[in-house]
Amino acid sequence: MKRVGLVVALMFATMTASAANAEEGANSLVAGAKSLSFRLPGGGNRYADGAAGIWYMLNEDMNLGINVGLGIDHTDAGASNTAWDILLAPALKYYMAKGVVNPYFLGQVNLRFHDDGGVNNDPELGVAGGIGAEWFPVRNFSIGGEAGLGIDIVRQAPGKPVKLGTFQSALVANIYWE
């Protein structure tokens, strides 16, 4: 809950301080731009409790990145057994339009390493695709959201090696520099 409050406060301060400065095309989506992203999932993320990534604009329309997520949880009341998840997720965004609000298509590969206290802790592999949008209240900072579908290609569930499902929506904050 503290994270949500912090994000809301940051969004409000950013919108209030800079709404007048936001003009059409005032964003950092240019070839060679780099960014750090911070993701807060909407809940139910079996891969990680959140993720951070580094991105590089290949050209005016394509952004290539790698997200890393970490999840840690105590699996029993005594807290003697800890479950963990590490997500490595290379991703690509294709922007459909440019301006203050920038819609995009997203493709991502999910490689999951985990120890959930069970005997089968082999890596898992999945792919995901969806849509999202970024809003630039100022040139070097954006807030966005995304949602889509995912397919777990290799997963550790007896008798169910493939699974199709939605990946949860996420709130994403990006800091850009050139």
Distance of CA 35 to the CA centre of its chain: 13
**How far apart, in whole angstroms, are the C-alpha atoms of residue 58 and residue 38?**
20
**How far apart, in whole angstroms, are the C-alpha atoms of residue 72 and residue 121?**
15
**How far apart, in whole angstroms, are the C-alpha atoms of residue 102 and residue 137?**
12
pLDDT at 24: 47
User: Which residues, 6 or more positions from 34, have their beta carbon under 8 angstroms from its beta carbon?
Assistant: 54, 55, 56, 57, 176, 177, 178
pLDDT at 117: 66
Domain that holds residue 125: 2-177
Q: Count structural domains, the chain.
A: 1
**How far apart, in whole angstroms, are the C-alpha atoms of residue 68 and residue 173?**
15
Q: Say if residues 159 and 124 touch (Cβ distance below 8 Å).
A: no
Question: Strands, DSSP E only, in 1-140?
Answer: 34-41, 51-57, 62-74, 82-95, 101-115, 124-138
pLDDT at 22: 45
List the CATH number of the domain containing 173.
2.40.160.20
Task: Print pLDDT tens along the chain (178 aa).
Answer: 455 555 555 555 444 444 444 454 579 999 999 999 998 875 555 555 578 999 999 999 999 999 998 877 666 655 556 677 788 999 999 999 988 999 999 999 988 887 766 666 678 888 888 999 999 999 999 999 988 888 878 766 666 666 666 666 788 999 999 8
pLDDT at 69: 86
Please tell me the number of Cα atoms within 13 Å of 60 on its side-chain side.
Answer: 5
pLDDT at 13: 47
